[in-house]
Amino acid sequence: MLKPFLSCALALTTLGATPVAIRVASHVATPRLAPSPLGARQAPTATREPNTHGRIPILEYHIIGDHESRWTVDREHFRRSLQMLYDRGYRPVSVSQILDHKLDLPAGLSPVVFTFDDASPSQFRYVEHDGALEIDSTSAIGIWLDFHAKHPDWGNHAVFCMLPAAAAGHAFFGERGIEGQRSAWRFKKVQFLYQQGFELCGHTLWHANLGKYSDAVVQEQIARGELAIDSAVPGYHVRTFALPLGIWPRNRALARAGSWTDPKTGRQVSYRFDAVLEVAGGPAPSPIDPAFDPQHLPRVEVYAETLEHTLDALDQTHTRYVSDGR
């Protein structure tokens, strides 16, 4: 049996709620970032040879927390990674920008894609300060926006692959505790990401292992996930889908396109994705490389020092995508 779905009624209640000023919390101290030792080894941007057939790292993050583990990156490590990537000449782009060949970067710079899976509160959290809700500056989005404010050319192009009805707080970044039972704020978070220019990505309803289910359940899981995003941001076209656990359904075509009919209302919900994200595989080919397959986009799972090793390998093998400025 499928887990309960966030209803459209919640979307209507949320969209009609009294506006509340939301800002990035400024009362939480932001630590000074040490210079990146890896960034110091890089050649100046102007001398980096163009390579538009090079590879693009699509990074996969889950939890941004206070320790390191298989699925968790320490928030201080995350801050250092942003600075390191910036210093090494990387700038964020979305999956949609890759699909549309809109990698409009100055000559010598390289694209990098950030994907955040599972919609945990660690990625987007509110705190209450002086009677107002603020974005927690220790959450991933708080850290990102702070970095963007200091580096305007670091655009808001991350991709959030979301679960609308998962347990343990992974329902559109919902949580108990500071936010209590204010589930309406979950939709506000999705709307905020859209308004800031981030890409919204499907990830099923509650992180179902699609390889275990029938074709009908696979389509329901994916379609209802897209329906929930549409409830938060009406009319939004979801172009990218991330496979939960990296596991394809037995009928692989259903990860790319399908439909589901609501038995209560008779409404049919169809989906069709331009890109499917896998879990591993290393940096992705350039969109002008014949090996580029948007339906099988590999990613780099970020934990421990995988990011640092990946960037070093791209430079050592001269296989990094570098813009020619055109």
- Residue-range domains of the chain with CATH: 55-314 (3.20.20.370)
In contact, 323 and 107? CB cutoff 8 Å: yes
- Average confidence (pLDDT) over 256-283: 96
Give the range among 8-12, 146-150, 255-259 with minimum mean pLDDT.
Answer: 8-12
User: Is the pLDDT at 22 greater than 50, yes or no?
Assistant: no
Question: When comparing pLDDT for 96 and 169, which is higher?
Answer: 96
CA dist 60 and 118 (Å) reads 11
User: Is the pLDDT at 233 greater than 60, yes or no?
Assistant: yes
First to last CA, the chain: 52
User: Would you state the pLDDT for residue 17?
Assistant: 34
**Which residue in 273, 239, 269, 229 sits closest to 254, CA to CA?**
273
User: Is the pLDDT at 2 greater than 50, yes or no?
Assistant: no
CA dist 272 and 257 (Å) reads 4
Tokens at 220, concatenated:
């329901």
User: Would you state the pLDDT for residue 169?
Assistant: 64
Cβ neighbours of 235 (radius 10 Å): 5
User: Is the pLDDT at 41 greater than 80, yes or no?
Assistant: no
In contact, 144 and 89? CB cutoff 8 Å: no
Q: C-alpha distances in angstroms, 149 versus 121, 152, 155?
A: 22, 6, 10
In contact, 3 and 107? CB cutoff 8 Å: no
In contact, 114 and 59? CB cutoff 8 Å: yes
User: Is the pLDDT at 1 greater than 70, yes or no?
Assistant: no
Amino acid identity for residue 301 in this structure: E
- Indicate the angle between helix axes 140-150 and 75-87, nearest 10 degrees: 30
Question: When comparing pLDDT for 161 and 45, which is higher?
Answer: 161
R_g (Cα) of the chain, nearest Å: 20
In contact, 254 and 272? CB cutoff 8 Å: no
Question: 149 falls in which pLDDT band (50, 70, 90)?
Answer: very high
Amino acid identity for residue 297 in this structure: L
CA dist 138 and 275 (Å) reads 30
CA dist 277 and 158 (Å) reads 14
CA dist 177 and 46 (Å) reads 49
Helix (H, G, I), strand (E, B) or coil at 72: strand
Question: 3 falls in which pLDDT band (50, 70, 90)?
Answer: very low
Q: How far is CA 9 from the centre of its chain?
A: 26
CA dist 249 and 214 (Å) reads 8
